[in-house]
Amino acid sequence: MSDKIIIFDTTLRDGEQCPGATMTLEEKLEVADLLDEMGVDVIEAGFPIASNGDFEAVSLIAERVGNAVVAGLSRAAPGDIDRAGEAVKGASRPRIHTFISTSPVHMKYKLQKTAEQVHEMVVAQVTRARNLVDDVEWSCEDGTRTEHDFLCRCVESAIKAGATTINIPDTVGYCIPEEYFDLIKMVRERVPASDKAVFSVHCHNDLGLAVANSIAGVQAGARQIECTINGIGERAGNAALEEIVMALKTRGDVLPFDTGIETTMLTRASKLVSAVTSFPVQYNKAVVGRNAFAHESGIHQDGMLKHTETYEIMTPESVGLSKTNLVMGKHSGRNAFRDKLQQLGYELSDNQLNDAFQRFKDLADSKKEVFDEDIEALVDENIATAQDRMKVLSLLVVAGTMGPQVATLSLDIDGEHKTVQASGNGPVDATFNAVQALVPHEAALELYQVHAVTEGTDAQAEVTVRLGADGTSVTGRAAHPDTLVASSKAYLTALNKLINRRDRLHPQAAE
Ligand code: KIV
Ligand code: ZN
């Protein structure tokens, strides 16, 4: 039996499906590109029947992804399966992932079908999918609460009908590792042609056991793990990709399995997914949390100085963190800056580099220490603003206990300079009212979030603004040592995105 574990990433499907994690099309493409580059074997790009937006995202991802298999999810209904087949057909390696619930509680209350009817649907759904693509995955939703004889019967029929991967999800995150191990082993042993399919695990984290259960499933013979970056997903989320990959890599002595993941890209993937979903990564999150490689107590620091293995079981470099975070300052030159950007994985054109360098210098003048995170925030903002029609020229805000707070804002709108003064219920409200006065719009503010990029009172504030209009949402982010400047820029970034999108889709409205 092969020791290679297939990493099936469902950040763009199960991850995106959780409340508040919606991504725009551009953001999904960016995440898909990174997953492919990182060595993910299967990218579940979405649920094509769910919306036209999902269909478009899956189709575009299918066309651009070079290495990974691209999967689209479908229920058992013929229309669902056909839509998934249509969405993935441009992929060099397309997969349809089709599922149906098999547990008594799901069949009775959710599907309102008998076991016999569900069994017929299993055969029909896999057969239909197999007529569209060669690579078909079948999942028994709520598999871990399914009656064993029925589970084995459905798995056997799915394999006979042509399923090449069989996924046994712990949909409600109910299992403990020993139970999950026994379940996967039992199905593999009892189903006659089980060796004709790859067995897959898909574990939710309701009891915090998703990663442990996934690993137990692999020890019982599963060879595909379904997971998400940062563990995002329905409710408490899915098994975290970075934790699984690093557990297998670090504990190769007792877990002799390989993944094809370039682990030095894990931190970058985590940051990207956190930024596009606006889900912060908890500080003490395993592998990618900001404290995962931080040592503060005297005893730990003393041990680390003597030998890093005293308190570190993996190196920060192995997950893409540079050990010395504090390297750039106001005396750094353009070459050092370019070098730093390359280390951080950016390739900028000369113009983008000049622009970013200038902004780095401005930042270094106003901030004692410039960390990698500061540079990433600054460059990400730089790339996004290249085609924008509106830019912040200046902002002056009068705030404090003596309200009302007043913002004087100047914008460059299509090359024209415009200034307005507006008041509001607090400085952020005043700033946003000034934007509204200069650029009247109907978009609704759906989210406003502020994070400190690093520590200290001079840290840059990273602001996220989400605006909704015409049934879509866009996210704008900006970083600046002044929270209000970052807020105005983030708001304008989101507004620019909405306008760019409208201009792209309805060019006649551009006037
Ligand atoms: O959790 C689950 O059961 C799922 C299936 C659709 C695979 O996400
Ligand atoms: Zn799931």
pLDDT band for position 299 (50/70/90)?
A: low
User: Does residue 8 line the site of ligand 1, with CB under 6 A?
Assistant: no
Q: Is the pLDDT score of 193 beyond 80?
A: yes
Stretch 276-292: mean pLDDT: 90
What pLDDT, in 10s, does the model give residues 158-185?
999 999 999 999 999 999 999 999 999 9
User: Does residue 277 line the site of ligand 1, with CB under 6 A?
Assistant: no
Question: Which residue, judged by its Cα, is nearest atom 2 of ligand 1?
Answer: 171
Q: Which fold has domain 390-510?
A: Double Stranded RNA Binding Domain (3.30.160)
The Cα–Cα gap between 340 and 344 comes to: 6
110, 141, 199, best to mutate for ligand 1 pocket (most atoms within 8 Å of CB): 141
Identify the three-state secondary structure at position 416.
strand
Domain borders along the chain are 6-277, 324-384, 390-510
What pLDDT, in 10s, does the model give residues 46-95?
999 999 999 999 999 999 999 999 999 999 999 999 999 999 999 999 99
Cα(112) to centroid(ligand 2), Å: 21
13, 14, 180, best to mutate for ligand 1 pocket (most atoms within 8 Å of CB): 14
What pLDDT, in 10s, does the model give residues 108-122?
999 999 999 999 999
pLDDT at 338: 82
Stretch 401-425: mean pLDDT: 93
Task: Yes or no: say if 293 and 240 are a contact pair by the CB < 8 Å rule.
Answer: no
The Cα–Cα gap between 123 and 110 comes to: 20
User: Does residue 169 line the site of ligand 1, with CB under 6 A?
Assistant: yes
**Beta-strand relationship, 6-9 and 224-227:** parallel
Most confident of 27-41, 332-346, 371-385, 446-460: 27-41
Stretch 255-283: mean pLDDT: 94
User: Does residue 14 line the site of ligand 1, with CB under 6 A?
Assistant: yes
Report CA Rg, the chain: 25
Structure-token pair, residue 212 = 């442990």
Q: Could you give the count of Cα atoms lying within 13 Å of 108 in the half-sphere of its Cβ? A: 4
Q: Which fold has domain 6-277?
A: TIM Barrel (3.20.20)
- The ligand placed nearest to the CA atom of residue 139 is 1
pLDDT band for position 339 (50/70/90)?
A: confident
Q: Is the pLDDT score of 231 beyond 60?
A: yes
Compute how many other C-beta atoms are within 10 angstroms of the C-beta atom of residue 458.
12
CA 99 to ligand 1: nearest atom? 6
Cα(58) to centroid(ligand 1), Å: 18
Cα(254) to centroid(ligand 2), Å: 27
DSSP assigned state of 403 = S
Which range among 136-145, 285-294, 483-492 shows the weakest confidence by mean pLDDT? 285-294
Question: Which neighbouring-strand residues pair with 413?
Answer: 390, 416
pLDDT band for position 325 (50/70/90)?
A: very low
- What's the chain's average pLDDT? 90
Cα(204) to centroid(ligand 2), Å: 6
Q: Is the pLDDT score of 373 beyond 80?
A: no
User: Does residue 237 line the site of ligand 1, with CB under 6 A?
Assistant: no
The Cα–Cα gap between 261 and 41 comes to: 9
Stretch 376-402: mean pLDDT: 80
What pLDDT, in 10s, does the model give residues 459-475?
888 898 888 887 667 77
Cα(5) to centroid(ligand 1), Å: 19
User: Does residue 376 line the site of ligand 1, with CB under 6 A?
Assistant: no
What pLDDT, in 10s, does the model give residues 194-208?
999 999 999 999 999
The Cα–Cα gap between 486 and 392 comes to: 10
User: Does residue 139 line the site of ligand 1, with CB under 6 A?
Assistant: yes
Greater pLDDT, 374 or 293: 293
Structure-token pair, residue 438 = 């200069």
Amino acid type, 196 = K
pLDDT at 326: 42
The Cα–Cα gap between 209 and 214 comes to: 8
Most confident of 236-245, 480-489, 499-508: 236-245
Identify the three-state secondary structure at position 423.
strand
User: Does residue 146 line the site of ligand 1, with CB under 6 A?
Assistant: no
Amino acid type, 223 = R
State the angle between helix axes of 483-505 and 372-384 in degrees (0 to 180), rounded to the nearest 10: 30
125, 151, 204, best to mutate for ligand 1 pocket (most atoms within 8 Å of CB): 204
- Give this prediction's pTM: 0.71
pLDDT at 297: 57
Cα(354) to centroid(ligand 1), Å: 47
Stretch 14-29: mean pLDDT: 91
Stretch 398-408: mean pLDDT: 90
Q: Is the pLDDT score of 209 beyond 80?
A: yes
Q: Is the pLDDT score of 324 beyond 90?
A: no
Cα(133) to centroid(ligand 2), Å: 23
Which range among 313-317, 336-340, 380-384 shows the weakest confidence by mean pLDDT? 380-384
CA 73 to ligand 1: nearest atom? 6
Cα(15) to centroid(ligand 2), Å: 9
Cα(239) to centroid(ligand 2), Å: 10
Greater pLDDT, 206 or 355: 206
Most confident of 358-367, 375-384, 426-435: 426-435
Stretch 36-46: mean pLDDT: 98
Which range among 35-44, 377-386, 407-416, 467-476 shows the weakest confidence by mean pLDDT? 377-386
